[in-house]
Amino acid sequence: MNVFTSIKDVKEPEALVALALKVKNNPGVFGSYGKLKTLGLVFFNPSLRTRLSTQKAALNLGMQVVILNINSDSWILEMEDGAIMNGNAQEHIREAAAVLSQYCDIIGVRTFAQFNSRAEDYGEFILQKFIRFSSVPILSLESATLHPLQSLADWMTITEQQRTERPKVVLSWAPHPKILPQAVANSFVEWMRIAHVDLTVTFPKEIDLAPSYLKGISVTHNQEKAMENADFVYAKNWSSFSNYGKGTSSFQDWKIDERKMALTHNAYFMHCLPVRRNVVVSDGVLDSDHSLVLEQANNRTYAAQAVLLKMLGYEG
Amino acid sequence: MNVFTSIKDVKEPEALVALALKVKNNPGVFGSYGKLKTLGLVFFNPSLRTRLSTQKAALNLGMQVVILNINSDSWILEMEDGAIMNGNAQEHIREAAAVLSQYCDIIGVRTFAQFNSRAEDYGEFILQKFIRFSSVPILSLESATLHPLQSLADWMTITEQQRTERPKVVLSWAPHPKILPQAVANSFVEWMRIAHVDLTVTFPKEIDLAPSYLKGISVTHNQEKAMENADFVYAKNWSSFSNYGKGTSSFQDWKIDERKMALTHNAYFMHCLPVRRNVVVSDGVLDSDHSLVLEQANNRTYAAQAVLLKMLGYEG
Amino acid sequence: MNVFTSIKDVKEPEALVALALKVKNNPGVFGSYGKLKTLGLVFFNPSLRTRLSTQKAALNLGMQVVILNINSDSWILEMEDGAIMNGNAQEHIREAAAVLSQYCDIIGVRTFAQFNSRAEDYGEFILQKFIRFSSVPILSLESATLHPLQSLADWMTITEQQRTERPKVVLSWAPHPKILPQAVANSFVEWMRIAHVDLTVTFPKEIDLAPSYLKGISVTHNQEKAMENADFVYAKNWSSFSNYGKGTSSFQDWKIDERKMALTHNAYFMHCLPVRRNVVVSDGVLDSDHSLVLEQANNRTYAAQAVLLKMLGYEG
């Protein structure tokens, strides 16, 4: 696997889920597969789960890990082609990515939507520069519009917990005080449409997702209706695709609470974390024994480990 | 050992000192004991000795180490139960601690007194949240009111250097331009009262320690009297327990210098570092061949290594 | 090797180049040489290449690596002897260096010219403090006036690419919007005068280098003349030695571009990176197949690995 930025980069998604579950069962089994191989992790943004789980995944494979926090450890990067660099930027992404490729066998990159321009975010401006200018595989640790390692971990979690052959999975928008990207939602839809689930997406119609992601997916703007018979409820805030970069303080009643969960088929609750308690979801739901958020976080390690294994050339 | 926050968590303190000295003698002896085990280090504050010595201790055991600098690498944490998280805090300590427990086999936490409320600091507000919400052993890397790894290293140092069976050990307050916690002093008293030493604590009576820590300990407010016949002089600043969170610029003459050391039984000088030269202690004393500060720092590695070994289940 | 701060610390420079090339050919060959040895990396400044390449070099040798970012991870350091530390500085360099020596078998230090005083910078104020107060080998990761690991990597690169027995190597000043140190230029001259090359240095006469470094070296202030028959053109900005700490916005026409490269003997282009595109050098030159900047960056790993090997006692 030469790049991992979307499910489109994965030839056999189900086999990848199976590999991740196999690795989880025995984390040390490929413990020397990464010997003398170096994973570079480049962070443009804060991170807890991604930082720790990806590092652990690489160490489990015997890889070396080097970390670069752009904006604190390193130089200010120029992103524009042809720039005359007489301002603040000290190094061009061309050199940064190419030099990282000298030291690393795989580069993981964590970026975030900038909300300056929808075209730029959806063109994955920064991530694509890394892909273009590096000479080694690029692993997305979340990009402006997708978060594939999260979705892989989510798929693992659903596989482990499903009680029916084809569970009903609901992705529900939920309120949040800040303007957040659509990455987790886009990615979840992209992966779940391949999985053996019935997916319903629900959100206030003012806070839509990109039509291309929703094509052929069951959508409703009635959250309570969506919850009916759900086996899994995945809550996540995002900001509007149409009204890009704008937030809202409306729809506080879309918070997931015990009353809404009671409408479901005794559903499991899912969220990628970090989560705003009592804004996105009530304490009661999050702390219940039907909350899978920690298992989702745990599976991030093995999702990353499976993808790294494929990038290292593992054929199994 | 499921938690290490105080000597109260240690069943056999003397055996732990012995184990630390054994490890010091052969740092690689348990080199595969931590294979595929991960130590997470969480820092709320700057650190040099703790950061490096604990990391080295874990690597000496073959553990993997992942580091999280809260406030730079990660999200802003909410600490209050039941909070409606619509402000700046991005993640609740409940999730942060529980998620860290998914990736780490042991979590080390470095906190610091906040000086907002004595009750909160002495209740070890942050550390106790980690203990409550994590599912793996918690190692204190210094907390609001105690610094047990330092005290273990100090005990090792005294054991190595003592010239008499029951040395006289003096803990003396010393001046400092900032308001510092009582953690090192509290902890030193807590450990030394178990050790085979005669402990005297001396401080200006306005700058007291918590009565519970001093119970049964020899206390004098006459520094020079305390120094008489001392075998070890441990200098440390702290701020008043009674007048909590208030500093003072008085008592500059409590600085430890050559004249005061001449009152002792050719005593060794100790300090946990970092130290303010010529405020806490004179250059002459710190640079003398009777200064043990570097040996104390060195012993931090083996103190941590012994505690990690016990947390990993070592029974020897 | 007890210290590596300049070519003067290297007994047999050519043998060191050969060792670095040997290591490059088989990076894992000395993979257990550093077992249970710890490299500490201390950064006073941002870094990408140095941070990652030195870390990778150490891991390739089986060493443990601990990193300290002064000013973010650690305490504020006092550098003056005899200081009464009642201000902002929290720890003296004496303790910091001595304590690091307790945890590390080798300490790498990255400093930068302060431009407060030429005497202080050329006295290598900070680096010399580390050397004086530490008890283990000190590896310069760039200092105020020299960058020996870069020069060693540059020598490797020239050795690999040279097409004649005694190539003509030109070090040319180039424009830059900021005031930069003379470290890379000083160091390159210091190493190239030992190598089997004909070295010419060219710069506007107002922006001179220290006479001691230029002694016996061919110097011209006519850049185009210098380029004639060059086999390698090394571009680098620096600020004036005579007019210390002062910048200039003149001489923008000293930028290296395709027209100037056409004057050479089909020369290779070199730069230590990071580089300001279209200020120091045109996109066309930097992106041509005669640019060696990535190979120079790549060789940093093996340069560091060879020096670490010697510091670990390798005699081969």
> Which of A27, A48, A294 lies nearest to residue B74, judging by beta carbons?
A48
Q: Centre a 10 Å sphere on the Cβ of residue C259 and count the other Cβ atoms it contains.
A: 12
Neighbours of chain B (3+ CB pairs under 8 A): A, C
Asked if the C-beta of A105 comes within 8 angstroms of chain C's C-beta atoms, the answer is: no
ipTM of this complex: 0.94
Residue A252 burial (10 A CB sphere; 0-12, 13-18, 19+): exposed
> Which of A46, A52, A279 lies nearest to residue B40, judging by beta carbons?
A52
Q: Which helix (H) or strand (E) holds B107?
A: strand B106-110
Quick one: CA torsion of B161, B163, B166, B170, rounded to 10 degrees? Answer: -60
Asked if the C-beta of B58 comes within 8 angstroms of chain A's C-beta atoms, the answer is: no
> Which of C69, C279, C297 lies nearest to residue A102, judging by beta carbons?
C297
- On whether the C3-146+300-311 domain is CATH 3.40.50.1370, my answer is yes
Q: Say yes or no to pLDDT of B129 above 90.
A: yes
- With bands split at pLDDT 50, 70 and 90, how would you rate the model's confidence at A47? confident
Q: What is the pLDDT of residue C45?
A: 83
- With bands split at pLDDT 50, 70 and 90, how would you rate the model's confidence at B72? confident
Within A104-179, where are the H helices? 118-122, 125-133, 148-161
How many Å lie between the alpha carbon of C215 and the closest alpha carbon of chain A?
32
Q: Whose CA is closest to A100, among A180, A139, A42?
A: A42
Cα–Cα distance list, C200 to A209, A260, C230, C285, C296 (Å): 61, 78, 9, 20, 20
Residue of A nearest to C66 (CA): A66
Angle at Cα A213 formed by Cα A207 and Cα A216, nearest 5°?
A: 105
- Mean pLDDT across the stretch A253-278? 98
C250, two tokens: 């003149």
First to last CA, chain B: 13
Helix pair C13-25, C293-311: axis angle to 10 deg: 110
Q: Answer whether C83 sits within 8 Å of B59, measured CB to CB.
A: no
A280, two tokens: 């996105």
Q: What is the pLDDT of residue C73?
A: 75
The domain limits of chain C are: 3-146+300-311, 148-296
A79, two tokens: 């992103």
C55, two tokens: 């870390």
Annotate A153-182 with b (16+ C-beta within 10 A) or e (fewer). Answer: bbbbbbbeebeeeebbbbbbbbbbbebbbb
Q: Answer whether A86 sits within 8 Å of C279, measured CB to CB.
A: yes
> Which of C64, C68, C84 lies nearest to residue B59, judging by beta carbons?
C64
Measured in whole angstroms, the distance separating CA B203 from the mean position of its chain's CA atoms is 19
Q: Which residues contact C66 (CB under 8 A, 6 or more apart)?
A: B51, B52, B55, B56, C38, C39, C40, C41, C103, C104
Annotate C132-145 with b (16+ C-beta within 10 A) or e (fewer). Answer: ebbebbbbbbbbbb
Q: Which pairing describes strands C218-220 and C198-202: parallel, antiparallel, or unpaired? A: parallel
- Mean pLDDT across the stretch A255-272? 98
Q: Return the half-sphere exposure (C-beta side, CA atoms, 13 A cut-off) of residue B7.
A: 24
Mutate to test the interface with C, among A103, A107, A129, A136 (most CBs of C within 10 A): A103
Fold of B150-296: Rossmann fold (3.40.50)
Q: Answer whether C98 sits within 8 Å of B31, measured CB to CB.
A: no
Q: Answer whether B59 sits within 8 Å of C38, measured CB to CB.
A: yes
Q: Answer whether C278 sits within 8 Å of A91, measured CB to CB.
A: no
- For residues C92 and C94, give the distance between their C-alpha atoms in angstroms, rounded to a whole number: 5
Q: Tell me, yes or no, if the pTM score tops 0.90.
A: yes
Mutate to test the interface with B, among A32, A42, A50, A52 (most CBs of B within 10 A): A52
Q: Which helix (H) or strand (E) holds B78?
A: strand B77-78
- For residues C125 and C113, give the distance between their C-alpha atoms in angstroms, rounded to a whole number: 9
Q: Say yes or no to pLDDT of A306 above 80.
A: yes
Q: Which residues contact B273 (CB under 8 A, 6 or more apart)?
A: B49, B293, B296, B297, C91, C95, C99
Query: What secondary structure, in 3-state letters, does chain C show?
Result: CCEECCHHHCCCHHHHHHHHHHHHHCCCCCCCCCCCCEEEEEECCCCCHHHHHHHHHHHHCCCEEEEEECCCCCCCEECCCCCCCCCCCCEEHHHHHHHHHHHCCEEEEECCCCCCCHHHHHCCHHHHHHHHHCCCCEEECCCCCCCHHHHHHHHHHHHHHCCCCCCEEEEEECCCCCCCCCHHHHHHHHHHCCCCCEEEEECCCCCCCCHHHHCCCEEECCHHHHHCCCCEEEEECCCCCCCCCCCCCCCHHHCECHHHHCCCCCCEEECCCCCCECCCECHHHHCCCCECHHHHHHHHHHHHHHHHHHHCCCCC
For chain A, the average pLDDT equals 96
List A69's β-bridge partners, or say none. Answer: A43
The 8-class DSSP code of residue B256 comes to: B
- Mean pLDDT across the stretch B254-275? 98
- With bands split at pLDDT 50, 70 and 90, how would you rate the model's confidence at C263? very high
Name the CATH superfamily housing domain A3-146+299-311: Aspartate/ornithine carbamoyltransferase (3.40.50.1370)
Tell me: the pLDDT tens digits for B76-121?
Answer: 899 999 999 999 999 999 999 999 999 999 999 999 999 999 999 9
Sheet (strand B64-69) strand order: B3-4, B138-140, B106-110, B38-43, B64-69
Q: Say yes or no to pLDDT of C194 above 90.
A: yes
A290, two tokens: 């039907």
- With bands split at pLDDT 50, 70 and 90, how would you rate the model's confidence at C76? confident
Is B167:B198 a contact under the CB 8 Å cutoff?
yes
Q: Answer whether C274 sits within 8 Å of A91, measured CB to CB.
A: yes
- Mean pLDDT across the stretch B58-65? 95
Residues of chain A contacting residue B132, judged by C-beta atoms under 8 Å apart: none
Within A46-133, where are the H helices? 49-60, 93-103, 118-122, 125-133
| Domain pair A3-146+299-311 / A150-296, same fold | yes
Q: Whose CA is closest to C224, among C292, C143, C170, C277?
A: C170
Asked if the C-beta of B64 comes within 8 angstroms of chain C's C-beta atoms, the answer is: no
More reliable by pLDDT, A302 or A47: A302
Q: Answer whether C56 sits within 8 Å of A66, measured CB to CB.
A: yes
Which CATH code is given to the segment(s) C148-296? 3.40.50.1370
Residues of chain C contacting residue B279, judged by C-beta atoms under 8 Å apart: 84-86
